[in-house]
Amino acid sequence: MKSKVLTVEHLNVAVEDRTLIKDLSFSVYGGALTCVTGENGVGKTTLVKALLKCKRHSTKQVHFLVRPDEVQYVPQFRNVDDDYPLKIKDFVSLSLQNSFLPWLTKSEKNRIQKVLEMTKLTEIENEPLGRASGGQKQRAYLAQALVTDPKLLILDETTASLDKESRIYLLQVVVDIIKRTGAAVMFITHDPELIRRFGDYNLEIANHHGVMHEVKGDQASC
């Protein structure tokens, strides 16, 4: 049986006065890819942000079974323009916050190398991130989250700006990582093909309600 990392029970998600999702219950499991899908504006990102607020203090509705620093959120948009100066490997190291040392320790450097290899970035680790392609940037964002060894990884529309080939490549990387580390991944997406091919569970949000079901191979039920 897979281990639970997060349970949500009877949660209402609201923006100001407007309720977006009512009475939502689901669980997220380690070693599995849980897709979160729904039309634009249905409240997927709002849901994730509401969950993240409870990261440090679990509530009755939202209960994290992992430590706050074991949760990593990869946001949809980042301020990285063409002039962004840091090398990919230095960008990846930014999230290492469990030490106050102004330099990286040897084990941290090893960890970075391992993650760069998992995300297929080793060859371009010394290139400035601003010069990387869209797919490479997304893998660098993923690597920055992974370097902290998270138990729960939340990817927000990570593939939205990529072409089909890069999407599939990125998801293959994600699925490999799930196999290797046993981490749980929540993946907010619009892409039915990716869900069919890679998803283990699909949390579908529509008409203010969310239902989670298992994704069964190529049956195209979602």
Partner 1 sequence: MLEYAFMRYGFIASFFISILCGFMGVFVVSRRTSFFTHTLSEIGFAGAAFGLFIGTSPVIGMLIFTILSSLMIGTVGNKVSRRESSISVFSGLFIGLGILFLSLANTQSSYATNILFGSIVGIGVNDLKTLITLSVIIIIAILLIYRRLKYNSFDGTGSHFNAGYDTAISIIFLILLASTVSVTAQIVGSLLIFALLTIPASAAKFFVHNVWGMIFLTFIFSLVGTWAGLYFSYITDWPVSFFIAAIESAFYLVAISYDRLKNHD
Binding site for partner 1 (CB under 8 A): 52, 56, 68, 72-73, 75, 77-79, 83, 85-87, 90-91, 94-97, 99-103, 126, 128, 131, 141, 144-145, 148
For residues 112 and 215, which CB has a smaller minimum distance to partner 1 in the complex?
Answer: 112
For residues 141 and 201, which CB has a smaller minimum distance to partner 1 in the complex?
Answer: 141
Round to whole Å and give the CA distance between 27 and 34: 9
Q: How far is the CB of 45 from partner 1 (least distance, A)?
A: 11
Q: How far is the CB of 192 from partner 1 (least distance, A)?
A: 27
For residues 93 and 202, which CB has a smaller minimum distance to partner 1 in the complex?
Answer: 93
Specify the 3-state DSSP secondary structure of 221.
Answer: coil
Q: How far is the CB of 64 from partner 1 (least distance, A)?
A: 14
Round to whole Å and give the CA distance between 149 and 76: 20
CA-to-CA dists, residue 100 to 91, 103, 150, 158, angstroms = 17, 9, 20, 30
For residues 9 and 127, which CB has a smaller minimum distance to partner 1 in the complex?
Answer: 127
Bridge partner list, 206: 209
Asked if residues 88 and 129 have their Cβ atoms less than 8 Å apart, the reply is yes
Q: How far is the CB of 147 from partner 1 (least distance, A)?
A: 11
Asked if residues 13 and 43 have their Cβ atoms less than 8 Å apart, the reply is yes
